[in-house]
Structure 1
Amino acid sequence: MSNVKDERPIKDINDSSSNHLTDGKGIFAHQKQKNSYIVRNPLVIFGHFLLMLIVVVILAISIPLYIGKTIFEGKGTAEEEQIVLISPGTGIREIASLLEKRGLVRSSDIFVYGVGYHQKTTRLKAGEYLIPAYASMQDIMDILVKGKSIEHAFTVPEGLTVQQVFDRLAANEILIGNLPEVLPPEGSLMTDTVHFIRGTTRKEIIKRLREGQTKLINEIWATRSPDLPIKSIEEFVILASIVEKETGIADEKYQVAAVFYNRLAKRMRLQSDPTVIYGLFGGKGKPAGRAIYRSDLEKVTPYNTYKIDGLPPTAIANPGRDSLKAVAHSPKSDVLYFVADGSGGHVFSRTLDEHNINVRKWRALKATH
């Protein structure tokens, strides 16, 4: 075995010509050159621009939307409640303009866009609405969508004639349209309160009053006492109308009905002053301040029960529920007369002598006042 050593030199690890290691500055220079290329790439530049544009557009849309939504849902500016009338056929722009002029919305445009955003533009209803103080635009939209208009009331007091009801309907400025040319039968209108919205016709109110009265009369007539001396529903209404005009006290109506039933049974004339008045003045009623004189009682008319036997040909007013019930369920009694007691009611008597005493008391009381 040879002892000769290999004398070839070992390569210097610092040899710059080595292919295994690279100068650090070269690495950084190469990366810098690569980044510079990316920045200058048109696709990258366009991508940055597009991203910025999207952000700007989103902000441009979302900020006004947020502000508009806040105003649309926020507290309104009107300090007092207001009544707003929306006529049929009014468009969303007209409605918004009206609300803005009335100070109910801050911006008509925001109201239009807000209603459109909720997809309710075509669902706003015409009507008369009460808008509460400080109502938001959304509150107002909801009110108009629900369409619950303000309800008005028309009241027919017991004892009015058909003509007097017609006069009140004619004077009502909320109702529209003409009245029927021919008056319905006396006693055929319900004495009650009916509710309606602006724009309801007068003929519609008449229709409802007639239907209500017909229903009421039929219901009470069906429950009448079986031994009543009157046999038709027409006579039932006529007598109830006379009772209605004689007294406004519900409990007294039964006694008044008993008086008339007893007089009819004895073939005595009813001698009711309200029938005299109706015979003289018809449905227009007695003029205010016009007294009834003894000579009026002597005037012959188809309605003057001082001069005719039995009942007059028609009712003399519209009777209410209490008068109808009193005539349908009059108690057994032997009273034949009644006269005012000076306190709003009446005193009843069985004989003419008792009645004359009561008449003198009433006249003396009347003379002192």
Structure 2
Amino acid sequence: MKKLFRRIILLGIIAGASFMFWAEKPIIPAEQTASMEFTIAPGSSLRSSMQQIDNAGVPVNSWLMTLLAQMTGNSTKLKAGTYELKPGTTPNQLVKQLVRGEFAQEALTIIEGWSFKQMRQAIDSNPALKHDTAGLSDKDLMAKISSDYALPEGLFYPDTYLFAKNSSDLQIYKQAYNLMIKRLNEAWTARDAGLPYASPYEALIMSSIVEKETGKKSERSMIAGVFVNRLKHGMLLQTDPTVIYGMGDQFKGNIRKRDLLTDTPHNTYTRAGLPPTPIALPGAESLHAAMNPAKTDALYFVARGDGSSQFSANLDDHNNAVNKYQRK
């Protein structure tokens, strides 16, 4: 009887050691480069979760995984979602990953200078997102993210956003909107005195113009300085990107004189002051430039053709610069 008891104890020790060795052995060898993805559906039980992992082709014993989760007190703590199993991950690490909800991460980049239309196209075409905004108008989308603004242009911060696979696209819109409002308010608080903006929104409009007009990042503050001077002098801004924005789908890549003369709400050749909305998504440097423009007497600028601009304080100098760099 004692021998049998000792054998049982010995077998238990061996089984326990074998189990612990299994729990710390990589599911996928570390030297492999390919990860595996699997999804646990909401409301899944422990056994169902492990079966879903098994059904996804993950080479791990689902029965032992169930036992491991129970032994570690995590049988009711696993979170639903899509996960990435990386090479070198052990069963013990995988259980911890499921408990912490460390989902598979995807990334989406919103580019400075994009229009909101381009942003929506990028989000709508991303296969890793759940498209809850499909079919919503821009106005309805803004209401969904609890915005105080009805029109979306310019109100989303260009950046790279990480999200769990199969997340709602509303998450991206909310993150980008909240971050833009935060950055805008920060820049507004730190703005120079005496700027011709009645509100942070008007400063955002100017930031978007600077974003679209600047070829060289180092010239952003000078571009902003020119436009601020023109506003203060009661001059038309006369900036081509606002005309292009107002043309919408009619713009085919070339702006003509008749386009400059055709009135739209955004045409700053035909209408004084700032346009009614931003014309693009401005980045941090354009926000800073619009709030802290260069102290300059320049009222004009023209592209030199190499990405830089020639700035002039009077019309004669500007016309000479146009002849030199544009008409040659």
Q: Distance in 1 between matches of 2:180 and 2:28?
A: 47
How many Å separate the matches in 2 of 1:106 and 1:148? 19
Judge conservation of contact 1:225–1:328 (CA < 8 Å) in 2.
yes
Q: 1:155 to 1:285 in 2, by over 3 A?
A: farther
- Going from structure 1 to structure 2, the CA distance change for 1:278 and 1:103 (only over 3 Å counts) comes to closer
Alpha-carbon separation, structure 2, partners of 1:75 and 1:200 = 28
- Larger RCO (alpha carbons 8 Å, 6+ apart): 2
Contact kept in structure 2, 1:254 and 1:326, CA below 8 Å? yes
For the pair shown, the structure with the greater C-alpha radius of gyration is 1
Alignment of 1:327 with 2:251, yes or no, is no
Query: For 1:92 and 1:214, how far apart are their aligned partners in 2?
Result: 42
State the Cα distance separating 1:101 from its structure 2 match. Answer: 5.5
Q: How many residues in Structure 1 have an aligned counterpart in Structure 2?
A: 312
Tell me the equivalent position of 1:360: 323
CA separation of 1:326/1:66 partners in 2, compared to 1, >3 Å: closer, same or farther?
closer
Is 1:181 the counterpart of 2:133 in the alignment? no
Letter in 1 for 2:24: E
Q: Report if the CA contact (8 A) 2:26-2:87 is conserved.
A: no
Q: Which runs of 5+ in 1 are unaligned?
A: 1-49
Q: Contact between 1:77 and 1:103, CA under 8 Å: does it hold in 2?
A: no
* Compared CA separation, residues 75 and 200, structure 1 to 2 (3 A): closer
Match of 1:89 in 2: 43
CA distance in 1, matches of 2:260, 2:28: 67
CA pair 135-351 structure 1, distance change in 2 beyond 3 A: same
Question: For residue 300 of structure 1, what is the aligned residue in structure 2?
Answer: 263
Q: Cα gap change, 1:286/1:58 in structure 2, threshold over 3 Å: closer, same or farther? A: farther
Match 1:116 to one of 61, 65, 70: 70
Q: d(CA) in 2 for partners of 1:277 and 1:77?
A: 53
The 3-state SS of whatever aligns with 1:200 is coil
Partner Cα distance (1:314, 1:134) in 2: 51
Q: Does the C-alpha gap of structure 1 residues 77 and 226 become closer, same or farther in structure 2, counting only changes over 3 Å?
A: closer
What is the aligned partner in structure 1 of residue 96 from structure 2?
142
Q: How does 1:59-138 map to 2 (within 5 A)?
A: 59=10, 61-78=12-29, 79=32, 80-100=34-54, 104-138=58-92
Mean Cα deviation higher: 295-304 or 184-193: 184-193
Q: 1:83 to 1:345 in 2, by over 3 A?
A: farther
CA distance in 2, matches of 1:75, 1:209: 38
Aligned to 2:148: none
1:36-88 per-residue CA deviation (whole Å, 9 max, x = no partner) reads: xxxxxxxxxxxxxx445534544554444443333233343544433333332
Matches within 5 A, 1:166-315: 166-179=120-133, 180-183=136-139, 184=142, 185=151, 186-281=153-248, 286-287=251-252, 290-315=253-278
CA distance in 2, matches of 1:331, 1:136: 57
* Letter of the structure 2 residue corresponding to residue 160 of structure 1: W
Distance change >3 Å, CA 142–CA 298, structure 1 → 2: same
| Secondary structure of the corresponding residue to residue 122 of structure 1 | coil
Amino acid across the alignment from 2:296: S
Kept in 2: contact 1:241–1:317 (CA 8 A): yes
Q: In the alignment, residue 118 of structure 1 is paired with which amino acid?
A: T
Residue 117 of structure 1, CA deviation: 2.1
Instruction: Tell me the alpha carbon deviations over residues 224-248 of structure 1, each in whole angstroms, 9 at most, x when there is no partner.
Output: 2221133333322222211111115
Candidates 297, 310, 323, aligned match of 1:347: 310
1:239-287 Cα distance to aligned partner (Å, 9 max, x none)? 2211111115332111111111222222221110011111110xx6945
Kindly provide the CA deviation profile for residues 147-191 of structure 1, in whole angstroms up to 9, marking residues without a partner as x: 222332222222222222122211122221422533442221112
CA distance in 1, matches of 2:299, 2:231: 10
In the TM superposition, what whole-angstrom CA distance separates every residue of 1:110-150 from its partner, at most 9, and x where no partner exists? 22222222222222222333323243222222222232223
Indicate the SS of the match to 2:209.
Answer: helix
Q: Secondary structure at the match of 1:238?
A: helix
The partner residue of 1:155 within 88, 95, 109 is 109
Corresponding residue number in structure 2 for 1:25: none
Confirm or deny: 8 A CA contact 2:28 2:86 kept in the other structure.
no
TM-score of the pair, normalised by structure 2:
0.84
Equivalent-residue separation in structure 2 for 1:237 and 1:250 (angstroms): 17
